[in-house]
Amino acid sequence: MDKVYHKEAFERASEAYRTAVLTAGIEEFSELGLEKANINIIAKKAGVSVGLLYKYFDTKEDFFFTCVEDAMRTLEDIIEGVVNSNDKILVRAEKLIRAIQTTSGADSKYVKLYNEITKVSGNDGAAELVKKVEGISAKTYNEFIKRAQESGDIRSDCDSAMFAFFFDTLLMTLQFSYTCDYYRERLKLFCGEDIFENDDRMVTELLKFLEAAFTFEHDDIKKFNK
Amino acid sequence: MDKVYHKEAFERASEAYRTAVLTAGIEEFSELGLEKANINIIAKKAGVSVGLLYKYFDTKEDFFFTCVEDAMRTLEDIIEGVVNSNDKILVRAEKLIRAIQTTSGADSKYVKLYNEITKVSGNDGAAELVKKVEGISAKTYNEFIKRAQESGDIRSDCDSAMFAFFFDTLLMTLQFSYTCDYYRERLKLFCGEDIFENDDRMVTELLKFLEAAFTFEHDDIKKFNK
DNA sequence: TGTAAATTCGTGAGCAGTCGCTCACACCAC
DNA sequence: GTGGTGTGAGCGACTGCTCACGAATTTACA
């Protein structure tokens, strides 16, 4: 089921070669994207011949996908490492937002590569990739909301799958907004230049937004005379 | 201030040539993106020589930006045409969501091109583009929320700029989710294959989400014993 | 108003640079 | 000897862009 994008030779390669190749690949692909990145340059940066790269991977695309897989694993570790436990959704959200803000520094390349995935055309690869990248959060959020509904922490009049989607949408876009060119400019346009120096503003406002969205039911409006 | 991306010759060109060139450009760029699209093929599809294209535009990028500008104007007309009037934010939101769902059909190329913009690297172009593309919604939503706060339609304990940003984030991603490869797969993963055949489900759930987020204040929780 | 000169419109073969990928070869392990 | 690792010059295909040329149109001027 789970597709592999590398040849057998890659598994036999030494740890040093594998990390060198993946590091250089992630570096270049995250900066330039699949199309613009240059295999010859990546090989040179990795201290490896082009020929060897093509002993490890059939095509440039396969190499790219392997880099993506690796980067997503690390990104997941960073993000999910912060959000373990059985925190309530708002605590979880706050930890996620702060993790996102932190990640936008040194580890920005992983987020950038995440963003590059959304650009890959050709629906064949897209479907496979999405499952690998978003599969976990989709399932996690969905089940989390369901359980929270049962215990009364979250409004019961909502579709858990849809609300998981909205939640993920806001956090995913937030990630891009802290690291990727276009989305950074967009955030600045909406919230001003200084938004990147005022992390707490984002945290409190997004939490306010999410808290209300997840807490109050449609009928509460009448009961509350709004 | 407002940069133009075409040479003077383009303005002197006949209406027929201009639309032919723009139509072919939007078609190809929306399908393949800036990098993969081929100038020679676009010229052929437009029924025009490459030489002439380069009398109209200095570079491929300039041509791309001109196509983007044109497409965004049409997209704005479609979207904003639906949301005139002084509707309340939820009425406005519903109209927007339904317009987005409709637009995903015949006019998908404009949305796809919108999505292509987010992929353009090099922060020089990005900043300029963002202003053109998102400038209007940023200002509109922000001021709208402010006025709604004054009249008591929207909670008063929130940062209008931030909430405008969240609102736009949800709608922008929704647009992509109905038209672009990766985002379509992502939506399917979260909400199931049949989400595209059940437009009302999206409308009601997103409205529930937004209604609560925009209505209830943080302090309401105590008052409401939640 | 007729005509020469200057300018612009429009063409498309092909230049020049880029880059994914190959392959003949050397080395090494067993 | 067989089968793996590792090399890197360079092939071949692609493509953004040019430029020499002719046709059309405008301008200049008697």
* Whether the Cβ atoms of residue B212 and residue B143 lie closer than 8 Å to each other: no
Chain B stretch 68-127, residues whose beta carbon is closer than 8 A to a beta carbon of chain A: 117-123, 126-127
Tell me the one-letter amino acid at B128: E
pLDDT tens track for B116-151: 999 887 757 778 888 888 988 899 899 999 999 999
Task: Read off the DSSP letter of residue A126.
Answer: H
User: B169 vs A165: CB contact, 8 Å cut-off?
Assistant: no
The CATH number of domain B1-67 is 3.40.50.2000: no
Domain layout of chain A by residue ranges: 1-68, 83-223
Mean pLDDT of chain B: 93
Instruction: Pick the residue of A97, A182, A217, A224 with the most B CBs within 10 A to test the interface with B by mutation.
Output: A182
The reply to whether B17 has its C-beta less than 7 Å from any atom of strand C is yes
Structure tokens at B102: 């409709």
Q: What is the dihedral of CA A199, A204, A210, A216, to 10 degrees?
A: 180
Choices 2.60.40, 1.10.3470, 1.10.357, 1.10.3210: CATH for B83-223: 1.10.357
Distance, CA of B95 to chain centre: 15
Q: Is the pLDDT of residue B226 over 70?
A: no
Mean pLDDT of chain A: 93
Residues of chain A found within 8 Å of residue B183, distances taken between Cβ atoms: 118
Report the alpha-carbon distance of residue A22 to residue A42 in Å, rounded. Answer: 9
Domain made up of A1-68: CATH architecture: Orthogonal Bundle (1.10)
Residues of chain B found within 8 Å of residue A94, distances taken between Cβ atoms: none
The reply to whether A19 has its C-beta less than 7 Å from any atom of strand C is no
Q: CA of A183: how far to CAs of A40, A109, A179, B129, B130, in Å?
A: 30, 15, 8, 11, 9
Residue of B nearest to A157 (CA): B208
pLDDT tens track for A33-85: 999 999 999 999 999 999 999 999 999 999 999 999 999 999 988 887 777 66
Which pLDDT belongs to residue A28? 97
Report the alpha-carbon distance of residue A159 to residue B206 in Å, rounded. Answer: 10
Task: Read off the DSSP letter of residue A58.
Answer: S
Report the alpha-carbon distance of residue A199 to residue A120 in Å, rounded. Answer: 31
pLDDT tens track for B173-185: 999 999 999 999 9
pLDDT tens track for A133-151: 898 889 989 999 999 999 9
Reduced to 3 states (helix: H, G, I; strand: E, B; else coil), residue A120 is coil
